[in-house]
Structure 1
Amino acid sequence: MSSPRPRFGDDRRRARIGRRHLLVPACRAGSAEEVADAVVALHATDPATVYLSVCARLAKPTADEVDRALYEDVTLVKLLSMRRTLFAVTTEFAPYVGSSTARVIAARERAQLVKHLRENIEEGAPWDEDRLAAAERAALEALAVRGEATTAELNKDVPALRETLLTSPDKPYAARQSVGSRVLRLLAADGHIRRARPRGSWTSSMFPWAAVAPLPEPPVRESKAEVARRWLDSFGPGTETDLKWWTGWSLGDTRKALADAGAVDVELDCGPGRALPGQLEEEAPPAEPWAALLPGLDPTTMGWRQRDWYLSPEHVPALFDRAGNAGPTVWWNGRVVGAWAQRADGEVVWRLLADVGREAVAAVGAEAERLTAWIGDVRVTPRFRAPLERELAK
């Protein structure tokens, strides 16, 4: 008769993410790199998310600290990786992300772009793999001369990049874009260029490109095991379904990576789960109440596919858009309990969706004041807007 799986209940999971994700005040970090490692990878599709996610977890929040890591020391880099999403990860972890997920995505992006160039270019010479490779070389040569350059600037330097591609032809949402915008995104996916400091505030998407030397990457299987191990360390215990969704891997690859990472079986309140052996022996310190105002697409909100243990299903329609993107959330002791927004005059407003008591209300109010203090005159509108955030922002 086999022994029962060790149990790891929801209360214990919620307490663990407060500490492991640096949301308990006593656990807050001193650097952006510490934050990125604590949550494995920072969502970066919306430029503001990286700043808001990091500063929610810093003992001394400031946008300058995130600027330093992204653009001065370049110890955080952005990669198109898990689930074909842009993430910011530490340079130490980046080779594993590249080998385990980013390379496959880059190959798919290249094949798709070649197909679109063959079928949907509006004018100019025919495109094939050779012409695309020549355009990439010319773009890199022009970037080497400039040092940093926007897509528009490189389009001026390389005539082929100015040609127009029609996306989704014969659809109501058909649009035209320069070949350059797609080619440069592909070069970034392949690790040849990176996004440099934006021209504008830290909420801006008007960034120039800068050349980088591609990093050597470990073997794929080793890399997948490392990604799985880090995810379990930060988000575990969790389920196969959670990791499969978070990475975008197949079920077979997910199971192999969990085995290679040394994962063990546990019983969660929702059913079978996986954990690292050390997590079963962790001694939880006395619970410290904590509140957090996390941005849209924050890695904690988006860390699992199965979310009922920290997010009431009835609240999902108010807090997520129709594509499944999380808006700004209010947390109390490991649960999502509401939403927040910034109004045009800079005021940070919030609404609770559950009765969590006076202590929670006071703690959330203190976090709103903390956010207002460091954000200053900057105005933040999430790229993906949830219904309740839209309502609060009016």
Structure 2
Amino acid sequence: MTALPRITAAQRRTRLVRRHLLAPSVRAKAPEAVADALVGLHATDPATVFLAAAARMHAPTVGAIDAALYDTPAGTPPDVPVLARIRCMRRTMFVVPAHLAPTIHAATAAAHTDRHRPHALTQLHDALGWTEHRYATVEQTVLEVLAARGGATAAELADAIPDLREGIVTFPGKPYQSRQRASTPVLGVLAAEGRIRRTRPAGSWTSAQFRWAPARPLPRMAAAEAKTELARRYVAAFGPVTADDLKWWTGWTVTDTRKALAATGAQAVELDEGTGYLLPEHLDSATEDTPEPAAALLPGLDPTAMGWRHRDWYLDPDHTKALFDRNGNIGPTIWWNGRIVGAWAQQPQGHINHHLLTDPGSQARTAIAGEIGRLTTFLTDTRVTPCYRTPLERRLWAPPSTTRTAN
């Protein structure tokens, strides 16, 4: 039997730095190029999108990232920015290149779309006695209000449509029971069906209070074709990957993962974790030139930090508890040459506090200081606190009056 080509952890880290734009020489000019390189940017936390893009851009500005998210370029269809915010992989929010949105939606979320409406109707019927007719009437009113105003937040819609203000209890009797307005399931269904979309938020770029606006549903694509294309793009950006990595990243079943991976024509290679896969055209570049030594400060939920199921080749397992919360969400991290070496947090007064989990050497410490300065310049007077707090991030965030700096 012919032995599989072997790719070492060091070679994988070299590829990570280059493909994920984590060195100055390979940074992008525009935020859409960052999203394209990584397939998509995690968007559950609105700040992650801006910070993930800024870390990989030559000269990042909030204005450039904001424009890519919300403004329509000249010569393109109206109301279609270059980046689209959609629920997709693992049923979580991502910002993806608009031209890829139909493919990604068909590969990940389209199969679940038809379930949202019956679920919401059952929820509102059981909690509030809504009939199907009442639900349809409220929904139509929402669309009419948005069309008339051009856009509105959920709170503004609730002010205009009293039915949306009615309260419901989700998961009654469970430890995670919560209360929400009827607007949540109604707007959720319209968004899942592509009939409305999130636009520029009320407040700063860190705000999660998005405005809603009318939208055109994404074009339909065959699921199998879309999954093959998404798998191909993932392997191109993150490869070599294991089948388990692809399954975890997409949220697919084992069967769908195997079919899509096989359809890409990816070639098997040997990794420390077992069998991995690379696209045939990338086999020769598996040992590509190493970029210059480079540091990067990445935000919580960054797509690189969250991009693989198996992470030992870039993250010391002993550091997992400090960097992740109980649900598996990673906090802000410091990288050196494709490996996580520390964490950072912005304190309430604006100072970027950081802690190194291992000593990467004087060259790395100098580069990290430079990246802290670059991030400080980008943030100006903005304060960023991750949506998902991790043990080390909380400790670094604590004001100087309650803890000593970890620099």
Q: Superposition pairs for residues 28-177 of structure 1, below 5 Å?
A: 28-73=27-72, 74-121=81-128, 125-128=129-132, 130-177=133-180
Local SS of the residue matching 2:340: strand
Q: Give matches, 1:222-261, under 5 Å.
A: 222-261=225-264
Matched-pair contact (CA < 8 Å) for 2:249–2:307: yes
Asked if structure 2 preserves the Cα contact closer than 8 Å seen for 1:81 and 1:105, the reply is no
- Is 1:324 paired with 2:328? yes
Q: Give the number of aligned pairs.
A: 389
- Alignment partner, residue 354 of structure 1: 358
Greater displacement, 364-373 / 165-174: 165-174
AA matched with 2:55: A
| Contact persistence 1:339–1:389 (CA under 8 A) | yes
Which deviates further from its counterpart, 49-58 or 182-191?
A: 182-191
SS in 2 for 1:197: strand
Query: 3-state DSSP class of the match of 2:113?
Result: helix
Larger mean CA deviation between 73-82 and 244-253 belongs to 73-82
| 1:10 to 2:14 alignment | no
- Map of 1:313 onto structure 2: 317
Amino acid aligned to 2:99: E
SS in 1 for 2:200: coil
CA–CA distance in 1 between the matches of 2:137 and 2:256?
A: 35
1:291 to 295, 301, 310: 295
Do the aligned partners of 1:80 and 1:105 also contact (CA within 8 Å) in 2?
no
TM-score by length of 1: 0.96
Note if contact 2:352-2:376 (Cα within 8 Å) is conserved in structure 1.
Answer: yes
One-letter code aligned to 1:24: A
Residues 17 and 291 in structure 2, CA contact (< 8 A), matched pair in contact too: no
Letter in 2 for 1:326: I
Q: Would you say the 8 A contact 1:266–1:274 is kept in 2?
A: yes
Q: Is the 8 A contact 1:340 1:351 kept in 2?
A: yes
1:267 counterpart (250, 257, 270): 270
Match of 1:52, SS state, is helix
RMSD: 1.4
- Structure 1 residue 245: Cα displacement: 0.4
Secondary structure of 2:201's match? coil
Deviation at 1:173, TM superposition (A): 4.1
C-alpha deviation, 1:166, in angstroms: 1.1
Contact persistence 1:106–1:189 (CA under 8 A)? yes
Q: Mean alpha-carbon deviation: is it higher for 80-89 or for 180-189? A: 180-189
The CA deviation at 1:175 is 2.4
The CA distance in 2 between the partners of 1:219 and 1:158, in whole Å, is: 37
Q: Which region of structure 1 is more displaced relative to structure 2, 282-291 or 296-305?
A: 282-291
1:131-159 deviations in Å (ceiling 9; x for gaps): 43333222111110111111122223333
| Deviates most, 162-171 or 131-140 | 131-140
Q: Secondary structure at the match of 1:208?
A: strand
Deviations 1:304-330 (A, max 9, x none): 011111111110000000000000000
Q: Is the 8 A contact 1:84 1:105 kept in 2?
A: no
Query: Which residue in 1 is equivalent to 2:370?
Result: 366
State the distance in 2 between where 1:32 and 1:356 align: 29
Question: What does the per-residue CA deviation read over 1:16-47, in whole Å, with 9 as the maximum and x for residues that have no partner?
Answer: 01010111110000001100001101000000
Residue 213 of structure 1 corresponds to 216
In the other structure, the counterpart of 1:277 is: 280
Per-residue deviation, 1:385? 0.8
CA contact (8 A) 1:192 1:214 kept: yes
Runs of 5+ unmatched residues, structure 1? none
The CA deviation at 1:104 is 2.4
Q: Give the counterpart letter for 1:161 in structure 2.
A: L
Greater shift, 353-362 or 276-285, is seen at 276-285
Q: Which runs of 5+ in 2 are unaligned?
A: 73-80, 399-407
Cα distance in 2 between the residues matched to 1:133 and 1:251:
37
Which amino acid is the alignment partner of residue 92 of structure 2? T
Distance in 1 (alpha carbons) for counterparts of 2:112 and 2:325:
25
Equivalent residues of 1:162, 1:178 under 8 A apart = yes
* Cα distance change of structure 1 residues 379 and 265 upon mapping to structure 2, 3 Å threshold: same
The alignment partner of 1:92 has SS state of helix
CA–CA distance in structure 2, aligned partners of residues 26 and 108 of structure 1? 46
Structure-1 separation of matches of 2:136 and 2:230? 31
Range with bigger deviation, 145-154 or 321-330: 145-154
Opposite residue 52 of structure 1, the aligned amino acid is L
The answer to whether the 8 A contact 2:332-2:393 is kept is: yes
